[in-house]
Amino acid sequence: MNKTKILVVEDDKAIRNLITTTLETQNYHFQIAEKGLDAIMQAASMQPDIIILDLGLPDLDGVTVIKKIRSWSNMPIIVVSARSEDTDKIEALDAGADDYLTKPFSVNELLARLRVALRRVRFQGQDMENSIFVNGDLKIDYAAGCVFLAGKEIHLTPIEYKLLCLLSKNAGKVLTHNYILKEIWGNVLPSDTPSLRVFMATLRKKIEKNPAQPKYIQTHIGVGYRMLRLSEENEKSN
């Protein structure tokens, strides 16, 4: 029996039905909210494991809902947005959303995103307590400032190391370019995005077996980057 509880916030009936039908096939428990205020109240009373949140709601906008919920909870929030709401999507991620789905999305895409979010929940507490981060072959010893790949120490520049730590401490979450620039360099200039890309490329060369097909750090074109938690199946096959 799947005990995962999901709060579905969507005012569009057709999309809501697609989501809830998909959740039913996996035996997820779910509740529905059609408005932002209901969503906030239900998030508090239900304490869901994940929230799937439409950005365009009739009363509050989705970003406001995220900010309210983030003031007391770190529960994963997956945003659902139309293509026309691209800037809202980035704003939603900066407000603390984990991930986003662009309409129209497939059932498989939705399920894959749910698995990523659940994996983040599973490791969350552990990552906070541990000074050592392990993900597949990658190991970071935060206290010693060392990084290992398959047991061998690798040497990173200070910026590459900061970048890797930021991504690993937020594993499972999509981090926007602006967020990363602010955290690493302390200021945000859109002109810095290309240099971020360069640092990411050199970091990937050091940690990815095949930098053209990265398994640790995902690129979200026009949005940002995310470190993926490798699943047990992946870890076994490596």
Q: Which residues contribute to the site for Ca ion (CB under 5 A)?
A: 11-12, 54, 56
For Ca ion, the closer CB: 51 or 165: 51
Please write down the HEC assignment for all residues of 15-33: HHHHHHHHHHHCCCEEEEE
Helices in the chain by DSSP H: which ranges? 13-25, 36-46, 62-70, 86-94, 107-129, 158-169, 177-185, 193-207, 232-237
Q: 115 in the Ramachandran plot: left (φ > 0), alpha (ψ -120 to 50) or beta?
A: alpha
Count of other CB atoms within 10 angstroms of residue 43: 23
Residue nearest to Ca ion (CB): 56
> 235: Cβ–Cβ under 8 A, 6 or more apart, which residues?
136
For Ca ion, the closer CB: 104 or 145: 104
Cβ of residue 4: shortest distance to Ca ion, in angstroms? 24
Cβ of residue 80: shortest distance to Ca ion, in angstroms? 8
For Ca ion, the closer CB: 12 or 192: 12
Count of other CB atoms within 10 angstroms of residue 186: 7
Cβ of residue 19: shortest distance to Ca ion, in angstroms? 12
As a whole number of angstroms, the distance between CA 213 and CA 113 comes to 19
For Ca ion, the closer CB: 38 or 160: 38
For Ca ion, the closer CB: 8 or 163: 8
Cβ of residue 82: shortest distance to Ca ion, in angstroms? 8
As a whole number of angstroms, the distance between CA 32 and CA 42 comes to 9
Cβ of residue 25: shortest distance to Ca ion, in angstroms? 23
> 195: Cβ–Cβ under 8 A, 6 or more apart, which residues?
none
According to DSSP, the residues that pair with 152 across neighbouring strands are 149
For Ca ion, the closer CB: 39 or 181: 39
Cβ of residue 11: shortest distance to Ca ion, in angstroms? 5
Q: How far is CA 189 from CA 124, 182, 194, 200, in A?
A: 31, 9, 10, 17
